[in-house]
C-alpha cells in the first residue's frame, strides 16, 4: 500500500507515515457511502444536529490530542492552536447544528409541497491551512443536510480528520456515514471529484486545482462547490483611524504565517496618509516573531513546506525586482531560524496594483501597500484582481464605509474591524469560488429541492 510521509515544518524532518487511499479505495468507499446515506437521510434533522453538538463536546475533551494533530504537520506554535485553529471548528459544529434546526424541510407553495432533501453522496476535499476547520466547514453542513460524506484531507495535514471522525462516531454518527480517505490530490482527489457516484464535490483549495475539480465534476453533472484563493484588500478611506486599521490588517497577514485565504494582504491607502500607514505596518510586521512550535513567545511558525517557503521568497525577490520598496523583511530565513521552513514577515510599499505581488496569492506573511487617489480609485484597485473573497473598509464615517463596502465585488467585507460572523454566508465572487459555506446557507448547498404537485381539488397545508 502507498503511504504519505508527513514532514515537520519546524525541523524539516519526517515524523509520520499515513496510508494513502487509491482510486480503487475511492470506488469502494463511494458505494458504501451511498448505502449508509440511505439510512442517515431519514434521521430527523434535530437528531442529526445533536450528533454535531456531541461531537463538538467530544473534540473539546480531546483538545490536547487535537493540538498535536494540527501542530505537527502545520508547525503553528502550540500555544496558538486552540484559538487560531480549534475554536472556529468547534464553533462551526455547534452553529451548524443550530442552523439545521431552523431549516424548512417542507413548505407549501401553491399546489405543491416543496421539499429540501439531502443531495446525496458528498466528496469533501480539504486544504492544509486550517485543516480541522476546513473539514468541519464541509462535513458539518453535509451531515446536517442528511448526506453521507467522504472526506479527503490534504496529504500534508491528514491527522486531525481521523480525530473528527472518531468524535462523530462517539457522538452517535452511524458507521459508514463519514469515511476519511487520506491520499494525494492527483490520485484520491481526482478519483473523488470525477466519480459518477458522487453527487456534490465540496472543494477548498487553490483556484488552479478548483478549476480541475469543477471540470471533473462536470463530466457527471455533479455539483461543485468551490472555496478558492483570495487577494483581499483593506481600504483605508482618508478619514480612517490608520493605526487601528493597519494593526487589524497586519494581524490577518501574521496569523497562521499568512496562510489564510481571507488574509487582507493588500492595504489600500490614500496617498496623503501613505507614510503614516507605512510606519504602522513596518512596526507591526517587524514586531511579529517567528518561532518553533514550542516557543511560547512566537507569533507565527514556519510555512507548511519547502515549496511554500520557496514560493514566498520568490515573490519577495520578484517584488523588489519590480520596484516595490520593502519597509521591513525581505527574502531568506529570519535570524537564528536556519532550519525549518521559516520566512520573514515582509511589508512592501509603493506597490503598483498590476505587479505580481499585488495580483497573486502569496500565502505567506507578506503585506503590500498600494497608494490610491480618491474613493473610486480605491474601489477600482480593490476589485482589480481575479479574486473576490474578502475585504475591509475603514472610515471615521461608518455610513461612508458601508457605501464603499456595498460597491465591492467580494463575498465578505468587514467595516471598521467588524468581526467574522460564523453564521453569515462565506464564499467567493469571481475566481474565489462558487457556493457558500456556514450557517443555513452552507447546509442548503447540500440539499436538492423537490416539488410534489398535488391535484387542485386537494386542500394542502
Ligand atoms: P490545493 O489546491 O493544492 O489542494 C487542496 C486539496 O485538493 C488537497 O486536499 C489536495 O490533495 C487536493 N487536490 C490537489 N490536486 C487535485 C486534483 N487534481 N483533483 C482533486 N483534488 C486535488 O490547495 P492547498 O495548497 O491545500 O491550499 C491552499 C489554497 O487553498 C490557497 O489557494 C487558499 O487560498 C485556498 N483556501 C481557500 C479557502 C476558502 O474558503 N476560499 C480556505 C482555505 C484555503
In SS3 terms, 182-207 reads as: CCCHHHHHHHHHCCCCCCEEEEECCH
Q: Which of 277-286, 288-297, 452-461 has the lowest mean pLDDT?
A: 452-461
Tell the residue number behind the cell numbers 394542502, with chain if given.
Answer: 460
The 325-328 sheet, strands edge to edge: 325-328, 346-349, 366-372, 266-270, 233-236, 391-394, 414-415
Give the model's confidence band at 140: pLDDT under 50 very low, under 70 low, under 90 confident, else very high.
very high
Domain count for the chain: 2
Query: What is the C-alpha separation between 194 and 123, in angstroms, rounded?
Result: 10
Nearest Cα to Cα of residue 143 among 113, 178, 114, 171: 178
Based on the domain organization, do 238 and 385 belong to the same domain? yes
- Separation of 204 CA from ligand 1 center, angstroms? 5
Based on the domain organization, do 242 and 208 belong to the same domain? no
Residues 146-150, mean pLDDT to the nearest whole number? 98
CA 265 to centroid of chain Cα atoms: 15
Nearest CA owner, ligand 1 atom 8: 154
Task: Give residue 406's pLDDT.
Answer: 98
Q: Domain range for residue 224?
A: 3-228+432-452
Based on the domain organization, do 32 and 179 belong to the same domain? yes
Atom index in ligand 1 nearest the CA of residue 125 equals: 9
426 within a domain of the structure (yes/no): no
User: Rg of the Cα trace of the chain?
Assistant: 23
Based on the domain organization, do 247 and 224 belong to the same domain? no
Nearest Cα to Cα of residue 9 among 308, 291, 300, 305: 305
Task: Give residue 250's pLDDT.
Answer: 98
- Separation of 153 CA from ligand 1 center, angstroms? 10
Q: Which helix (H) or strand (E) holds 417?
A: none
Q: Does the pLDDT of residue 1 top 80, yes or no?
A: no
DSSP E strand stretches across 66-189: 106-109, 112-118, 122-125, 149-152, 178-180
Answer whether 266's CB lies under 8 Å from 232's CB: yes
Nearest CA owner, ligand 1 atom 31: 206
Atom index in ligand 1 nearest the CA of residue 210 equals: 2
- Separation of 22 CA from ligand 1 center, angstroms? 19
Which cell is 345 given? 514577515
Task: Give residue 40's pLDDT.
Answer: 98
Return the best residue to mutate from 141, 205, 212 for the ligand 1 pocket (most ligand atoms within 8 A of CB).
Answer: 205
Q: In this structure, how many other beta carbons lie within 10 angstroms of the beta carbon of residue 175?
A: 9
Q: Which residues are catalytic?
A: 227, 261
224 SS3 class = strand
- Separation of 207 CA from ligand 1 center, angstroms? 8
Nearest CA owner, ligand 1 atom 37: 228
pLDDT digits over 320-341, tens only?
999 999 999 999 999 999 999 9
- Separation of 278 CA from ligand 1 center, angstroms? 32
Residues 75-102, mean pLDDT to the nearest whole number? 98
Nearest CA owner, ligand 1 atom 22: 185
Based on the domain organization, do 308 and 321 belong to the same domain? yes
Nearest CA owner, ligand 1 atom 35: 205
Residue 381, Cβ density class (10 Å: 0-12 exposed, 13-18 middle, ≥19 buried): buried
CATH number at residue 331: 3.40.309.10
Q: What is the pTM of this model?
A: 0.98
CA 422 to centroid of chain Cα atoms: 12
Task: Give residue 362's pLDDT.
Answer: 98
Which cell is 375 given? 474613493
CATH number at residue 53: 3.40.605.10
Atom index in ligand 1 nearest the CA of residue 183 equals: 11
Based on the domain organization, do 23 and 64 belong to the same domain? yes
Based on the domain organization, do 186 and 237 belong to the same domain? no
Based on the domain organization, do 74 and 104 belong to the same domain? yes
pLDDT digits over 330-376, tens only?
999 999 999 999 999 999 999 999 999 999 999 999 999 999 999 99
Atom index in ligand 1 nearest the CA of residue 426 equals: 40
Amino acid at each position: 500500500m502507498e503511504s504519505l510521509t508527513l514532514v515537520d515544518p519546524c525541523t524539516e524532518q519526517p515524523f509520520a507515515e499515513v496510508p494513502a487511499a487509491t482510486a480503487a479505495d475511492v470506488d469502494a468507499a463511494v458505494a458504501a457511502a451511498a448505502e449508509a446515506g440511505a439510512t442517515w437521510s431519514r434521521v430527523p434533522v434535530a437528531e442529526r444536529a445533536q450528533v454535531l453538538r456531541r461531537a463538538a463536546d467530544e473534540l473539546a475533551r480531546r483538545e490536547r490530542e487535537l493540538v498535536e494533530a494540527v501542530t505537527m504537520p502545520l508547525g503553528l506554535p502550540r500555544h496558538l492552536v486552540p484559538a487560531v485553529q480549534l475554536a472556529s471548528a468547534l464553533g462551526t459544529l455547534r452553529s451548524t447544528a443550530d442552523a439545521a434546526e431552523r431549516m424548512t424541510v417542507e413548505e407549501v407553495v401553491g399546489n405543491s409541497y416543496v421539499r429540501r432533501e439531502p443531495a446525496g453522496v458528498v466528496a469533501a476535499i480539504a486544504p492544509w491551512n486550517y485543516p480541522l476547520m476546513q473539514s468541519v466547514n464541509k462535513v458539518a453542513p453535509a451531515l446536517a443536510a442528511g448526506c453521507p460524506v467522504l472526506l479527503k484531507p490534504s496529504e500534508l495535514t491528514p491527522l486531525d480528520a481521523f480525530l473528527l471522525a472518531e468524535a462523530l462516531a462517539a457522538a452517535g454518527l452511524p458507521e459508514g456515514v463519514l469515511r476519511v480517505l487520506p491520499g494525494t490530490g492527483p490520485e484520491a482527489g481526482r478519483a473523488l471529484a470525477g466519480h459518477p457516484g458522487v453527487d456534490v464535490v465540496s472543494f477548498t483549495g487553490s483556484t488552479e486545482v478548483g478549476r480541475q475539480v469543477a471540470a471533473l465534476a462536470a463530466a457527471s453533472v455533479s455539483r461543485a462547490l468551490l472555496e478558492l484563493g483570495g487577494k483581499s484588500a483593506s481600504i483605508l478611506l482618508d478619514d480612517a483611524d490608520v493605526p487601528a486599521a493597519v494593526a487589524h490588517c497586519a494581524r490577518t497577514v501574521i496569523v497562521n504565517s499568512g496562510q489564510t485565504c481571507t488574509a487582507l494582504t493588500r492595504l489600500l491607502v490614500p496617498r496623503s496618509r501613505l507614510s503614516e500607514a507605512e510606519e504602522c505596518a513596518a512596526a507591526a510586521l517587524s514586531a511579529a516573531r517567528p518561532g518553533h512550535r514550542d516557543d511560547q513567545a512566537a507569533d507565527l511558525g514556519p510555512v507548511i513546506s519547502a515549496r511554500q517557503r520557496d514560493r514566498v521568497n520568490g515573490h519577495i525577490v520578484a517584488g523588489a525586482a519590480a520596484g516595490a520598496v520593502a519597509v521591513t523583511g525581505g527574502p531568506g530565513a529570519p535570524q537564528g531560524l536556519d532550519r525549518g521552513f521559516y520566512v520573514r514577515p515582509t511589508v512592501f510599499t509603493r506597490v503598483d496594483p498590476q505587479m505580481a505581488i499585488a495580483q497573486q496569492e502569496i500565502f505567506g506573511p507578506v503585506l503590500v501597500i498600494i497608494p490610491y487617489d480618491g474613493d473610486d480609485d480605491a474601489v477600482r484597485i480593490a476589485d482589480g484582481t481575479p479574486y473576490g473573497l474578502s475585504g475591509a473598509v475603514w472610515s471615521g464615517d461608518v455610513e461612508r464605509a458601508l457605501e464603499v463596502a456595498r460597491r465591492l465585488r467580494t463575498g465578505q467585507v468587514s467595516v471598521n474591524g467588524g468581526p467574522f460572523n460564523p453564521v453569515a454566508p462565506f464564499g467567493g465572487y469571481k475566481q474565489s469560488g462558487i457556493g457558500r459555506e456556514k450557517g443555513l446557507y452552507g447546509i442548503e448547498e447540500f440539499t436538492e429541492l423537490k416539488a410534489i404537485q398535488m391535484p387542485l381539488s386537494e386542500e394542502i397545508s
